[in-house]
Every structure is written in C-alpha cells, then in structure tokens.
Amino acid sequence: MKHLQHRLLLASTILAGTTLQPISLFAADAAPKRVVLVTVTTGFRHSSIATAEKILQKLAEESKAFTIVAMVQQPDIVVPRKPNAPKPLAENADEGAKKRFEGDTKRFDEAMTKWTPEIEAQAKAAQQQLSEQIVTRLAALAPAALDALKVDGVIFANTTGDLPLPDKEGFIQWVENGHGFMAMHSASDTFHGFRPYIEMLGGEFATHGGQAPVELIPLDPAHPAAGGRITPWPIAKEEMYHIKSYDRSRVHDIFASPTVPMDGRPEQGQPLHFPVSWVRKQGQGRVFYTSLGHREDVWDDDANLANRLNSPEVSQQFQKHILGGIRWALGVAEGSAEPQLKAAK
C-alpha cells in the first residue's frame, strides 16, 4: 500500500495544473484502458477543441473501453495579439482586390494606433505566463508521470506547434514500449521540428485548401478504425489536409480519397491516393491518426448544432471511426497494421 501511495503522490505532483478525473483504487475500475487527453496548442488553435473534448469524454463514458484519467488543457490566459499588416497587393490585382486592400489597410492603421507600448508589455508578460503554465501542464507526459498513473495511451486532439514536453525522446520510447498513441486532425501540424514524432505518426501536415466536400473510400472495412463503414463515406464539408512525410509502405491505410479535395479529379487522369487516416505499429506500441476533425459538425452529432452543414450521420460515422481507432490503439480491438503497399526492394 505504501508503494501505491508513493506512485499516486508522484502522479499528483507532476500533473499539477491538469484536469484530473476521479481515480479509484478498486480493482473493478481497472477494466477500461486509462488515457490522457491533450488539447494544448502553441500554434493555431481550432474552435472545435472544446467540442472534441466533449465528444471524446462521451465516447469514453458510453463505450466503457477507456477512461480519461487526465486532461491536459490550454491555460486560461488571454494574450493580446499585435495587428497583422495586410499582405502586399499583387501587381495584377483587379479593382475589387484593390478596394479590399484599401479597407484592410485602413483597419490595420486604426488598430495600430491602439497598440500602445503598455499593451505590448502586457502581451509579452501574458505570453511568458502562458508558456510557463504550458510547460507545467505538459509535465503530465513525462514517462514517470504516465507510469505513475498507469496510463495505457495518450490522445492528441487538434494539438499544434512544438509542444514543450519534458522528455520528447522518452515519450516516443514510452509509446514504443507498448502503449497507444491516438491523434486527430492538427496533431500532424505538431512537432514539425522533431522528426521522431513525425516518423511515429506516419505523416505531417503540409497545407490545405478551402473546406470542401470529399468522398472517402474505406481501404480496410473490417478494421475497427473504419467504424463499420463498407461503402464510400461522403462528407459535405471538411478541411482536408495535404500530407507530406508519408509513405504508404509504412502505414496501414483506413480511409483515403481517390481525388484531391477542391480539385475533384485524379492528377493527370490517373488513380490517386489522397491519405486521410491510417494506423501503424511503433515498436510494441500502436498509433492511430485521422486528419479529419476540423469542424464542430464533424465531431458533434447534435442535430441542432449551430451552423451545421454536415449531417448528424457524418458525425456519427466520425465518432465510430475515432472510437474504433482508439480501441485498436489501446489493444481493446484487433485489426491489421500491415501496410497494404509493400516497400519496393
């Protein structure tokens, strides 16, 4: 008992600043896999993050497959942002573009008159405080902290930027030692400067066009991460990521598109593989990634959700998709991780 109390004390010390779910010492509660949910950002912050947190908690409670034992969330600190100057006007700009540029320039000049040295000093102080608190909260991902809480897997939901993990290499090793890593949307826009993370994930955000309709093809309908989908999956509108640092011979694809979203046709008339979601093994660990999850109405199936463009059925399928991927990564459900495309010899 003293050893157990020591482990829990270590966890509570390292996890200061995170939101912890109640932890029971009863053996009956050990059945669901134990997960830490991370939604911290140091880059762009998606408005859908709060929705993602809500839906992942709902899936945990309904499925009983996993429980979120800690949520590593963004500190509630507002950093004033210095106004951005409008982009230079193109030489061939038409009258409409010139008029918009004139309006943007006027608004920028007005905003800059309000950006006083005092506000700039406040912004720097707030940014420093935010950065320090993010470091404190991400201490939850130190291997010792994860082991102390007996964590089975970590979810990165719409994270961005180079997160200040206390031991990045140690975290990758922790996954390789037999744990699960599950990631949604801009988790591929995270750690661009840390190649071991990109290699573990299996791909990296390159760019995206405007939100677009897309029809996804299930490449392994029997896999838990396919969410039972055996026919093409139409999505009315989503921000589709173009992925780089991706190799089909290193991943087991779940969903892909035969066309480029916004383009609508294969390149040069040839069949195209536009990757969207996959799984892979990392040592003894399991990794699941989906590039979907930008919009609230992809996550949430509430029919009365404001500004809904996707049907609730799209959201229900997405929830099945990520729940299947989470269950697979945690070892609750089985499915292949063998790449469908073998590496050239």
At residue 21, the pLDDT reads 43
Whole-number percent of the chain with pLDDT over 90: 80
Q: 264 pLDDT band (50/70/90 cuts)?
A: low
178, part of any domain? yes
List beta partners, residue 256: 217, 275
Domain assignment present for 282: yes
Through-space distance between the first and last CA atoms of the chain, rounded to whole angstroms: 55
- pLDDT tens digits along 76-129: 998 899 999 999 988 898 999 999 999 999 999 999 999 999 999 998 998 899
Q: What is the pLDDT of residue 324?
A: 98
Q: Does a structural domain hold residue 311?
A: yes
Q: Is 245 exposed, middle or buried (0-12, 13-18, 19+ CB in 10 A)?
A: middle
Amino acid type, 110: E
Q: Is residue 316 part of a domain?
A: yes
Helix (H) or strand (E) holding 8: helix 2-14
pTM over 0.95: no
- The answer to whether 165 touches 141, Cβ cutoff 8 Å, is yes
Q: Tokens for 30?
A: 């050990």
In a domain, 200, yes or no: yes
pLDDT of residue 2: 37
The answer as to whether 201 is a domain residue is yes
Helix (H) or strand (E) holding 312: helix 312-329
Question: Could you tell me whether strands 285-290 and 180-184 are parallel, antiparallel, or unpaired per DSSP bridges?
Answer: parallel
Q: How far is CA 278 from CA 14, 161, 198, 211, 224, in A?
A: 32, 22, 14, 21, 11
Instruction: Give 36-89 pLDDT, tens digit per residue.
Output: 999 999 999 999 999 999 999 999 999 999 999 999 999 999 889 999 999 998
Residue 308 located in a structural domain:
yes
Give the chain's mean pLDDT.
90
Is pLDDT larger for residue 246 or for residue 24? 246
In-domain check, residue 115: no
β pairing state of 285-290 and 241-244: unpaired
Q: Is the pLDDT of residue 263 over 70?
A: no
| CATH number of the domain that residue 324 is part of | 3.40.50.880
| pLDDT computed for residue 221 by the predictor | 98
Cβ atoms of 248 and 343 within 8 Å: the answer is: no
Residue 260: what pLDDT? Answer: 82
How confident is residue 10, by pLDDT bands cut at 50, 70 and 90? very low
Instruction: Give strand pairing partners of 157.
Output: 184
| Residue-wise pLDDT tens digits, 219-229 | 999 999 999 99
Structural domains of the chain, count: 1
Q: What is the pLDDT of residues 317-343, one digit of tens each?
A: 999 999 999 999 999 999 999 999 887
Q: Which helix (H) or strand (E) holds 204?
A: strand 204-208
Residue-number span of the structural domain to which 197 is assigned = 22-77+137-329
47 touches 295 (CB < 8 A): no
Among 228, 222, 250, which residue's Cα sits nearest to residue 334? 222
Identify whether the C-beta of residue 161 lies closer than 8 Å to the C-beta of residue 192: no
- Give residue 283's region: left, alpha or beta (phi > 0; psi -120 to 50): left
